Amino acid sequence: MKKVVAAFLFPCWFLLLFSFGGHCAYAQEKVIKLKFSTFFPAMHKETANVSEWAKEVEKKTNGRVKVDVFPGAILTPPAQTYESVVKGIADIGESVPSYTAGRFPLSEVIDLPLGIKTAAQGTRLLNEVYKKFKPKEWDTVKVMFFWTSGPHMPCTKQPLTSLEGMKGLKIRSTGTSAAIVQALGAAPVGMPMSDAYDAMARGVVNGLFIPLEPLKGWKLAEVVNNCTFWGSAGANGVFVVMNKKKWESLPKDIQQIIEGINEEWIEKTGKMWNAMDKEGSDLLVQKGGKVITLSPEEDARWRKLVEPLLADYVNRMKAKGLPGDAALKFCVDYLKNR
């Protein structure tokens, strides 16, 4: 009888031991720690946004992944963020492609004077462009998602209602925005957003080519009085990318969780930047400033001057063997229907 009981109990004990050991192995799984670099200041809402993304990753992976956010460019300078992610200095990075003009050629389509009306619209469009064309310029990283600013416009101390007012102005701008500023008759001055306040306050520049959000987020409503909305505005794209080897080292279920969060954050981030543009506009008005809308006739004059930039983009992409004509058409058609 004892032999029968022992024979019955042995496989039970073996299964229990195996189950307990497997549970311990999972419980003792080493936490995956990731470093996320952003150039936005610690108190900026975008830093809060990526911090919330990081918390969502930790929550939905049951603590198996922990993301530490490094704001204010303390881990990597904005223009070097992408390469820092490629090299593994940062595991995840957020920055602006136009800070390294020419590095992401096909994706520069979003910066063109397309007539983007809101950050949410631009954000959806840029992510669709990536999904449609899968530009090889991003192959050295894992793309998390993209978002865009709201439409860029000249913000100055004096009211700007015509092209004549642009002549002779020095205006802070980057990447394609600099070409737009030049086409409109002003002199572009390149610098990161972090230098814009001092440059405007000290008269290094006479204006800033920016969306409305920085009026509050970067306190620029203290140094400008007027912003001029025009119908052919473009937007700055922003990338959130991850080191490719680090991504490939993640368990498949964690990859799937993060992919789901990324899709959620596309819509969430676009809407957040819409709201921040409104806050910037409201603050400017509260301080006695104005958001000026060009007359239809004047708007047409501005549009005519920047149209050659579209053809130039297509030609430059063709020289690189890239489908710039298809990317531009895709964007134009998308904006017509949404």
216 and 163 in a common domain: yes
For strand 170-172 and strand 207-210, is the pairing parallel, antiparallel, or unpaired?
parallel
Residue 2 within any structural domain of the chain: no
What does 72-95 look like in DSSP terms, one character per residue? TTSSS-GGGHHHHHHHTSSSEEEE
Q: Is the dihedral of CA 187, 189, 194, 200 positive or negative?
A: negative
Model confidence at 21, in pLDDT bands (50, 70, 90)?
Answer: very low
Residue 7 within any structural domain of the chain: no
197 and 105 in a common domain: no
Model confidence at 6, in pLDDT bands (50, 70, 90)?
Answer: very low
287 and 322 in a common domain: yes
| CATH code of residue 303 | 3.40.190.170
324-334 pLDDT per residue, tens: 999 999 999 99
The percent of residues above 90 in pLDDT, for the chain, comes to 86
Rounded CA gap, 234 and 152, in Å? 6
70 and 173 in a common domain: no
CB 90 within 8 A of CB 142: no
Residue 245 within any structural domain of the chain: yes
Statement: the pTM of the whole predicted model exceeds 0.85: yes
Range of the domain at 221: 153-234+278-337
Length of the chain: 338
96 and 203 in a common domain: no
298 and 212 in a common domain: yes
Residue 15 within any structural domain of the chain: no
How many domains, in total, are found in the chain? 2
Q: What is the mean pLDDT of the chain?
A: 92
105-115 pLDDT per residue, tens: 999 999 999 99
256 and 141 in a common domain: yes
